[in-house]
Amino acid sequence: MDGESGIAFSKMNGLGNDFVVIDARAWRVALDSEAVRRIAARGAGIGCDQVIRLEPDAGADAFMRIWNGDGGEVDACGNATRCIAWRLMQESGARKVRIATNAGVLVCTPGPRPMTVSVDMGAPRFSWQEIPLAEPFADTRMIELHVGPADAPQLHSPSVVNIGNPHCIFWVEDVEAHDLARLGPLLEHHPLFPERANISLARVTSRDAITLKVWERGAGLTRACGTAACAAAVAAARRRLTGRTVTVSLPGGALDIAWREDDHVVMTGPVAVEFDGIIPAALLGAAAAEPAR
């Protein structure tokens, strides 16, 4: 594998949220935002929501670096974490792996069914500084933000939380009744979110079930977003709309989310392997690969 002939990759997905995975543990692989955008472009490139680079890490089984399709690096991706964990467990035969990310080290174990993985996503963060927001809010279970006329807003009073990434969740009666493809980019870039935000529409269907639709910052409408599912589950429990264990249904399928009493959030869901291939040198630009030392 080298930058002149191309770079090997695996295509994987979690509930349709898809990734190009590049293993840079044995080979150093340099990627910039332009190369990521070319790789992620559907039709012209390989096509994916996120590009993942595995790197060696002294304190974990691997470090997972994550870029969204727009070329921006992000701190967490729950669906990708499951995929990488499954890959690492298949390699080593281990029943537990530790994956380092910019958001911390995530501990992963096999799920209850074949091709499923459980991930300890850590503890959610609720203070306005940690999300972060551009101005103080004493209670992030429900903040002052609305879309449309003040006397009859289309969307209003969202919950906000950070679980690896900043999330803003609007509670609605019907997730399909709002044009998230139009509203998502406007809200993602709202001045209230200095690091932008993932925007979700959530409907509570029972004490243990939520329907969710997500606009993911830097990726757009997605079939699934693991951190958004965790954020919605936690936010619903904080507002006493559900219990602490729920099934979150997304366009790509369902995730089981448990907010444990130790404050950690555990996400369980499926993994899919699509194919392996070589990223053509033309997509890589200045990117290159050389043996790691």
Q: Cβ atoms within 10 A of the Cβ of 262, count?
A: 7
Give burial (CB, 10 Å; 0-12/13-18/19+) of 264. Answer: middle
Rounded CA separation 61/100 (Å): 8
Mean pLDDT of the chain: 94
Q: Which of 273, 227, 242, 236 is nearest to 104 (CA)?
A: 227
* pLDDT value at residue 228: 97
Rounded CA separation 196/60 (Å): 29
Per-residue pLDDT tens digits for 214-255? 999 989 999 999 999 999 999 999 999 999 999 999 999 999
Structure tokens at 187: 């809200």
Asked whether the predicted pLDDT for residue 57 surpasses 90, the reply is yes
- Domains belonging to the chain, first-starting first, are 7-118+272-291 (3.10.310.10), 146-263 (3.10.310.10)
**Which residues make Cβ contacts (< 8 Å) with residue 244, sequence separation at least 6?**
237, 258, 259, 260, 261
Q: How many CA atoms lie within 13 A of 144 on its CB side?
A: 6
- Give 171-177 contacts, CB < 8 A, sequence gap 24+: 171/202, 171/203, 171/204, 171/239, 171/241, 172/201, 172/202, 172/203, 173/203, 174/203, 175/201, 175/202, 175/203, 175/211, 175/212, 175/213, 176/213
Per-residue pLDDT tens digits for 133-151? 999 999 999 999 999 888 8
Reported confidence tier of residue 4, pLDDT bands at 50, 70, 90? low
Asked whether the predicted pLDDT for residue 3 surpasses 50, the reply is no
* pLDDT value at residue 16: 96
Among residues 77, 83, 108, 230, the one annotated as catalytic is: 77
Asked whether the predicted pLDDT for residue 292 surpasses 80, the reply is no
Per-residue pLDDT tens digits for 156-179? 999 999 999 999 999 999 999 999
Structure tokens at 151: 């006397």
Among residues 48, 108, 168, 225, the one annotated as catalytic is: 225
Catalytic site includes residue 77 = yes
Asked whether the predicted pLDDT for residue 116 surpasses 80, the reply is yes
Cα 63–Cα 189–Cα 20 angle in degrees, nearest 5: 30
Backbone Cα Rg of the chain:
19
Per-residue pLDDT tens digits for 65-106? 999 999 999 999 999 999 999 999 999 999 999 999 998 999
Catalytic site includes residue 225 = yes
